[in-house]
Amino acid sequence: MTPQHGPRRARIAFSDSAAKQLENITSEAEIHALDRALVVVSVDPDVGEPIPGDAAGPQLRQYTDDIEQVRVMYFVTALRTVVVVAYIEV
């Protein structure tokens, strides 16, 4: 019998500005909350709401977890294997 695996997760990458925001997060509770939100986005990149904008670039999306008080703005690469986080708010 072949073992059943869950859906393949997209890899998470950070823009330069999001990486700087990440460096400023020091609270363990905030890191845990952000980690949970990133797992949600990596499992289902379509979970966030599209943000209206220019169609020339990648579609920017926003995922908000009201319970954990986290907001992540991101876009997904063409092959849907990488989620690039552009903005973090914890």
Query: What is the pTM (predicted TM-score) of this model?
Result: 0.84
Compute the average pLDDT of residues 27-36.
95
Q: Is the pLDDT of residue 2 over 60?
A: no
Structure tokens at 67: 């319970």
Q: Is 82 exposed, middle or buried (0-12, 13-18, 19+ CB in 10 A)?
A: middle
Query: From the CB of residue 18, how many other CB atoms can be counted at a distance below 10 Å?
Result: 19
pLDDT at 21: 95
CATH number for the domain running over 11-89:
3.30.2310.20
- Percentage of the chain beyond pLDDT 70 is 92
Q: Which of these ranges, 25-34, 39-48, 54-63, has the smallest mean pLDDT?
A: 54-63
Strands (E) across the chain are located at 11-14, 49-50, 61-65, 70-76, 82-89
pLDDT at 5: 64
Distance CA 88, CA 57 (A): 20
